Amino acid sequence: MSRRYFIAGNWKMNKTAAEAKALIAEINALVGAETAVDVAVCPTFTALDAASQALKGSNVKLGAQNMYFEKSGAFTGEISADMLKEFGTEYVILGHSERREYFKECDCLINKKVKAVLANGMKPILCVGETLEQREGGKTIDVVSEQTVGGLKDVSKEDAEKVVVAYEPVWAIGTGKTATPEMAQEVHAEIRKVLAKLFGADTAEKIQILYGGSMKPENADALLKEKDIDGGLIGGAALKADSFAALVKSAKKLA
Ligand code: PEP
């Protein structure tokens, strides 16, 4: 496969700065020298400084979990691109289902954030995924396609190569329920078709599409073997160095 595997840890609202430093030290010891697979950790904003220092000399990259699209100003509680870049942040998770659900983020807002991340030389990890109700109603492909098109509206072909898409079925996040490899592959292939329509087949072939939703060492091999699954966005299993490193190793076996 020409695309590199990518394993990214979404730490959500977990780990203080001191805990982040300790976890990164363990991750570095296990996979800090990894070159065959892209690896990133996405701690909370308050741990970015400590994390960036702990990642010096490591091949593990730094990501954030959100960003506001404006450059600066009266946006109480928000974080700008410059603030993230100060710590060497390379990736920003956007449109996670928890932000869509609890913070009412819509495709239109997510799209502004995607474009701001790209304009600032970082890479967005755009999350898309259906709820259980939408899956049971046969709407999975429509929902995921609409979120992909909406999130990437007005993104240039050149910038599209820097985008990472994460397919995260909402019903599989933090629930222990995983989409079967076949179910995930079907959606990943559809997402790649949407990307091909938006940016052309060549560009679509270059875009990493990650699976997220209770991915763990026990189910990773089967998921990662699928043609259009290029890695994982990992929640729970990213909070322990040994399980996170095991996922990186699963990807490395196939790289
Ligand atoms: C996530 O929220 O991005 C995620 C995939 O979580 P988990 O692995 O815990 O299901």
**Probe residue for ligand 1, chosen from 42, 171, 233 as the CB with the greatest number of ligand atoms within 8 Å:** 233
pLDDT digits (tens, 9 = 90+) for 102-155: 999 999 999 999 999 999 999 999 999 999 999 999 999 999 999 999 999 999
pLDDT at 175: 93
Burial 185-210 (b: 16+ CB within 10 A, else e): bebbebbbbbbeebbeeebbeebbbb
Tell me which residue has its CA closest to atom 6 in ligand 1. Answer: 235
pLDDT of the residue at 49: 98
Task: Determine the pLDDT at residue 61.
Answer: 98
34, 96, 188, 190: the active-site residue: 96
What pLDDT, on a 0 to 100 scale, did the predictor assign at position 2? 82
96 is known as an active-site residue: yes
Instruction: Provide the domain count of the chain.
Output: 1
- What pLDDT score was predicted for residue 34? 98
- pLDDT digit string (tens) for 83-114? 999 999 999 999 999 999 999 999 999 999 99
- Measured from CB, residues less than 6 Å from any atom of ligand 1 are 10, 168, 173-174, 212-215, 233-237
Q: Which domain holds residue 87?
A: 6-254
Q: Which of 105, 168, 190, 226 is catalytic?
A: 168
Whether residue 1 is contained in a domain is answered as no
Residue with the smallest CA separation from ligand 1 atom 7 is 235
Query: What is the pTM assigned to this prediction?
Result: 0.98
Mean pLDDT, the chain, whole residue set: 97
> Ligand 1 atom 2: the closest Cα is on which residue?
235
92, 166 contact by CB (below 8 A): no
Closest atom of ligand 1 to 10 CA is: 3
How much is the pLDDT for 71? 98
Residue pLDDT tens, the chain, 255 long: 489 999 999 999 999 999 999 999 999 999 999 999 999 999 999 999 999 999 999 999 999 999 999 999 999 999 999 999 999 999 999 999 999 999 999 999 999 999 999 999 999 999 999 999 999 999 999 999 999 999 999 999 999 999 999 999 999 999 998 899 999 999 999 999 999 999 999 999 999 999 999 999 999 999 999 999 999 999 999 999 999 999 999 999 999
Query: For ligand 1, atom 8, which residue shows the shortest CA distance?
Result: 235
Asked whether residue 93 is domain-assigned, the answer is yes
Q: What percent of the chain has pLDDT over 70?
A: 100
Pocket mutation for ligand 1, best pick of 44, 125, 234 (most atoms within 8 Å of C-beta)? 234
Closest residue by Cα to atom 3, ligand 1, is 235
> Does a structural domain hold residue 144?
yes
Specify if 15 maps to a domain: yes
Q: Please choose from 215, 243, 244 the residue to mutate so as to test ligand 1's pocket, defined by most ligand atoms within 8 A of CB.
A: 215
Cβ-based neighbours of 112, under 8 Å, separated by 6 or more: 69
Residue 203 lies inside a defined structural domain of this protein: yes
40 and 251 Cβ atoms separated by less than 8 Å: no
Beta pairing class for 231-234 and 38-42: unpaired
Which atom from ligand 1 is nearest to the alpha carbon of 166? 3
User: Who's near 210: CB < 8 A, 6+ residues apart?
Assistant: 6, 8, 125, 164, 165, 166, 167, 229, 230, 231, 232, 233
Active site residue 188: no
Ligand 1, atom nearest to 172 Cα: 10
**Using CA atoms, how far apart are residues 175 and 196, in angstroms rounded to an integer?**
32
Specify if 86 maps to a domain: yes
Output the domain CATH number for residue 196: 3.20.20.70
In a domain, 171, yes or no: yes
